[in-house]
Amino acid sequence: MNLTAKAIAELLGGVVEGDEQVFITHPGKIEVAGAGAITFLSNLKYESYIYSTQASAVLVNSDFSPSKKVDSTLIKVKDVYSAITTFLEFYEQSFHPEKSISSLAFIHASAQLGDETTVGDFTSISSEVTIGKGCRIYPQVFIGVGTTIGHNVTIYPGVKIYHDCQIGDDCIIQANAVIGSDGFGFAPQPDGSYKKIPQVGKVILEDNVEIGANTVIDRATMGATIIKKGTKLDNLIQIAHNVTVGEDTVIAAQAGIAGSTRIGNQCQIGGQAGFAGHIEVADKVKVQAQSGVAASIKEEGRKVYGYPALSYQDYLRAYALFRQLPDLEKRIRELEKTEK
């Protein structure tokens, strides 16, 4: 990227104060940015940095008035957070591949690709696949037989989407995620061995879902494992067969959800949280990191913590007592000695 401050101001609907012809090549943090960088100041707690930054340009709110000289060019905008988001979206586009279909990709003759869809090197698209308009499919992606993918979907390198899955519009699937692998289903046999139960269901990602790198979502035994619209999954998450995750729920890294569990809408789940199978979690529940949820949570908006997970406040009170146990034990032993 190589744009003038004037061009960036026009993109963001802002006004330039300073050198409008200074060239910007990349974003940077205000405290360490150097020449060619654009940064931003929204929280006046960090105002001191604007007087020392080496960035070529700084995005500020339109009502910002510096208390002393600023060397950088200022771009004044109505709302800094909105403006920096727009700029970063624009900047990110420069890293996307050009809209083309690589000659090194394999695309089955029966597959259907929408207009302006990009397919990278060594990607394999199987028979009866349907892909919508404006998708970006990076190199070394595998898409299985009969899978459907909506419009404006981004699939990063190494993603594996097994057969008969459904991906909605505007989804993002980060590198090396696996969608539609077999659920963990085995029938115990009289001799102590296990016989695999065929997993013949599918995975459905609704619109505007993001799946983090190395996350695995298993297909249903029958029916569908469903991630509903707007939900965001971090990296290294395991979603088992027949799970349903509600709308606009966020789940942090290394969480695991066992089979047939239903997570509600707008839940917030911390990293390394674990959920037993066949339970239900109400809407807007918050689960602290490393908590273990072994039973259904039916109260909407409840906050839980610990293993097994308790009410958040109950856990904090219990933990406060737990930390005092060594001292309490010592005092009890001293009392026992005096009684003797």
Pairing of strands 23-24, 3-4: antiparallel
Known catalytic residue: 278?
Answer: no
Q: Which residues contact 327 (CB under 8 A, 6 or more apart)?
A: none
Q: Which of 26, 96, 163, 241 is catalytic?
A: 241
With tokens 């991906």, the residue in question is 167
* Alpha-carbon separation of residue 110 from 46, 89, 107, 130, 241 (angstroms): 57, 34, 8, 9, 29
Q: Which residues of 271-305 are buried (b: 16+ CB within 10 A; e: fewer)?
A: bebbbeeebebbbbbbbbebbbbeeebeeeebbbb
CA count, 13 A, side-chain hemisphere, 265: 4
Take residue 36 and report the two structure tokens written for it.
């060619």
* Alpha-carbon separation of residue 54 from 15, 28, 58 (angstroms): 20, 10, 10
Sheet with strand 280-281: strands edge to edge: 112-113, 130-131, 148-149, 166-167, 202-205, 224-227, 244-245, 262-263, 280-281
* Active site residues per annotation: 241
